[in-house]
Amino acid sequence: MENALTSSFSDLVLGIDHVAIAVSDIEASIAWYTSALGFSLIERSEVSGVHSGMVYAIIISGASTIVLIQGTSPESQVTQFIAAKGEGIHHIALAVSDLDKTIDRVTAAGNIPDTPVVSDTGIRQAFLQRNPETGIRIELIERLGASFSKKNVGELFRVFEENDLY
């Protein structure tokens, strides 16, 4: 049953853009997803903050995209996430048609962004605070023809690091 709040989001949320999974062994995870589930490795990269880093791998199968993330040191927020919550879903990214409107609506509904909007050519992103009931963090992502942006991933990683978020 649809209420006023859910109907106000139905014109903005387009679907799931990707799911990010925190792992302790990215090589073993890539091997499992590619051999057991038929995913294809699209990109592998690394980003750094001031005192820590993260490696990530983008894998796809059909319309499904998973981003595997692994911390590069004990100080990495990805490593801290795994220490606190175990390996698993770090965040779910929702594709939205209008990032600014979506942030306005989620803020009005009592949710607070944890990051500023970061932008690169054809892509804009922001993260909401981790939901206390489910433990899931939502990323909002507006794509205007672009794939993933290493610049944005790096900026978001540094914001997480600066604010001790995981």
3: pLDDT confidence band, cut at 50, 70 and 90? Answer: low
* Residues whose CB is less than 8 angstroms from the CB of residue 125 and which lie 6 or more positions away in sequence, other chains included: 93, 99, 115, 117, 118, 119, 139, 140, 141, 142, 152, 156
pLDDT for 12: 95
pLDDT for 1: 46
10: pLDDT confidence band, cut at 50, 70 and 90? Answer: confident
pLDDT at 8 over 80: no
The tens digit of pLDDT for each residue in 52-111 reads 999 999 999 999 999 999 999 999 999 999 999 999 999 999 999 999 999 999 999 889
7: pLDDT confidence band, cut at 50, 70 and 90? Answer: low
The tens digit of pLDDT for each residue in 106-142 reads 999 889 899 999 999 999 999 999 988 888 999 999 9
Residue spans of the domains in the chain: they are 4-162
CB atoms within 10 A of CB 164: 8
**Biggest alpha carbon distance in the chain?**
47
The tens digit of pLDDT for each residue in 35-48 reads 999 999 999 999 99
- Would you say domain 4-162 falls under CATH 3.10.180.10? yes
Are 50 and 161 within 8 A, CB to CB?
A: yes
